[in-house]
Chain A
Amino acid sequence: MKEAAAGKSSLTPIFPAMAGSRLLRPSIPFRFFGAAVIFHVGAWIALFIGADATPRFAGGLGWPLVVLHFVTLGVLAMSAIGASLQLLPVATRRSVGSERWPAAIWWLYTPGVAMTALGMGTGAVTALAAGAVAVVAALGIYAALLARNLVGAKGMPVVVAHGWAALASLAIVLATALALAGAYAGAPTLDRATVIGLHVVFAAYGFMGMLALGLSYILVPMYALSAAPAERPAWASFALAVLALLLAGAAALDFAPVALRTAAAAAGLASVALHLHLMTTALRTGMRRHLGRSFTLVRVAWAMLVASLLLALALVFDAPVDGLATSFGVVVIGGWLLTFLLGILQRIVPFLASMHAGQVGTRGRGLPPTPSALTAARPLAIHFACHLAALALLALAVAVDSALAIRAAAALGTAGALAFGAFFAAAMRRMRRPQAPAGTAAMPGS
């Protein structure tokens, strides 16, 4: 017994239990994260190109629309697909099944996003329409995988409920996306204002927002090492968020739009207040108090979520502020969703890389690297400063209608995105590095 245990300990990898687990092989999630890293750089470069049209952007084809979709489809949804396919099976205890489908999604989705966005930028509606069909097909497959995972999920009912709400929102987003692409291609079907209203609300707050809120109930307590959030307020927050979406959806269909949009923003604020109470409680009571820059970004993102709802109210009441709609877009997409994602991603990537390096270790090469050994502090510090400065400058540029300031923000954002790419590349390189033999590896303490 002693010999057997000792013999095993010299060869046993640190994560042997992963054999046959619900984790996908590393190339699946990391190809989505890698593509997101590239689209992130592309988004800031597209902003530089489209700087003149950005401060007063009010929809329509052009480079500001490319920026919007590079971020939403290329970065946010791309990462959400990779993260949810990896994390939801862990939460629901149901496997994704064949890995061919997640791989097929990536091969369909990635060129589809590029083609859609470039069609938007250049006015090539055929490319736009073809890209949109590929994107909708890929997201349709993703929706089917997500639904199959959520059906019969065991445990974490609040997270599962958020998953269903995100899925229902995705269906609306896809339908409205096809309607918009059809209109650009000369085949309008529905009233454009209605379609855009539904598309914006259900893409930002519905699909992306509900995934962000739901996955936060797993990720934030996990990184803070705190107890699971109280269920009752989490359910109340979920119910209020769904109510807000339904009210905003009805308003987009032109039923008492001012009253319903006001009620939607109020319900959204109440939902967010409960959610943030649970999240800050987790951070305050957790065993890990110092979560570094990643959670500073998460806190900034939460502040921007609240700000986005206040700006939505200002839009409802036609507040006399120039560029208000563009400011709303900057705050909801850049301030909340993108900042939140980048904060979380810089924690998830080293964690997943460490787990997957552990799988490599099953071949008997020794201990895998720790998550902290797979991160890269300097690129993340550069990204942190550049990202926040770029967003602040972008908001200012919109407020004062300055294309020059937009270009400066885009340059800063590009530098930050490249630094984030350096962090990601370092994690991938170190994950594949041969490991030190067990028993001789230096393992940092906590």
Chain B
Amino acid sequence: MNAGAQGKHWTDADGLHIDVRGLAPPGPLVAIVALIESIGGGVTPVIVHHERDPVMLYGELAERGWTVERIDGAPGEVRLKLRKVGSDSTFRNGQG
């Protein structure tokens, strides 16, 4: 787990998680873009734990060929699943 300006990262069965709650804008945007750029063209889904609807993120994701799906999260949390377009939707633990 890696805390700080890049958010908290960890890997789980459903993908690579990043928690950007508490970061001052545009910290969450920068942390998420940095993460997906580090993955490159990989098939690993990214699960984002956010505290707001990151409307400014979507254009950056689109430019990089990533799609977004809103999934259930804790109360008050905005949880998103990001996938590279054309990648397999499955993720086996340890792949990423």
Contacts and interface: CB of A to CB of B under 8 A. Distances in A.
Tell whether A and B belong to one assembly.
yes
A90 B56 contact: yes
Interface string B55-96: 110111111111111100000001010010110011000000
Given A445-B64, A446-B37, A5 B89 contact: yes
Given A16-B69, A287-B30, A354 B89 contact: no
A17 B78 contact: yes
B80 A17 contact: yes
A443 to B, nearest CB: 4
B24 interface: yes
Interface residues of B, number: 36
Contact of A354 (B23, B62, B78): B62
Q: Lowest 3 A-B CB distances belong to which pairs? A: A443-B65, A228-B24, A21-B53
Contacts of A9: 67, 69, 83, 89
B25 A372 contact: no
Contacts of B25: 91, 155-156, 218, 222, 228
Contacts of B90: 2, 5
Given A2-B89, A227-B5, A371-B59, A218 B26 contact: yes
Contacts of A355: 55, 58-59
B83 A354 contact: no
Looking at B60, B62, B78, which has the most chain A CB atoms within 10 Å of its CB? Answer: B62
A445 B86 CA distance: 13
Contact of A221 (B26, B52, B64, B66): B26
B29 interface: yes
A222 B62 contact: no
A228 B26 contact: yes
Nearest to A372: B63
Main secondary structure of the interface of B (DSSP, over half): mixed
Contacts of B60: 225
A6 B87 CA distance: 10
A195 to B, nearest CB: 39
A188 interface: no
Interface in A360-406: 367-372
A351 B86 CA distance: 23
A441 interface: yes
A441 B85 CA distance: 9
B33 interface: yes
Given A225-B29, A444-B63, A6 B89 contact: yes
Contacts of B78: 17
B52 A222 contact: no
Interface of A: 2, 5-6, 8-9, 12-19, 21-23, 90-91, 93, 155-156, 218, 221-222, 225-228, 287, 350-351, 354-355, 358, 367-372, 438-439, 441, 443-446
A439 B83 CA distance: 12
Contacts of A91: 25
Nearest to A17: B70
A21 B55 contact: yes
14 contacts: A2-B90, A5-B90, A6-B89, A16-B70, A17-B78, A90-B52, A90-B55, A90-B56, A155-B25, A354-B62, A367-B67, A439-B86, A443-B64, A444-B63
A438 B67 CA distance: 9
Given A6-B89, A225-B29, A227-B5, A14 B62 contact: yes
Nearest to B53: A21
A310 to B, nearest CB: 32
Given A17-B80, A354-B59, A225 B26 contact: yes
Contacts of A368: 62
B24 A156 contact: yes
Given A91-B25, A155-B25, A228-B27, A443 B53 contact: no
B58 A18 contact: yes
Nearest to B70: A17
B74 to A, nearest CB: 16
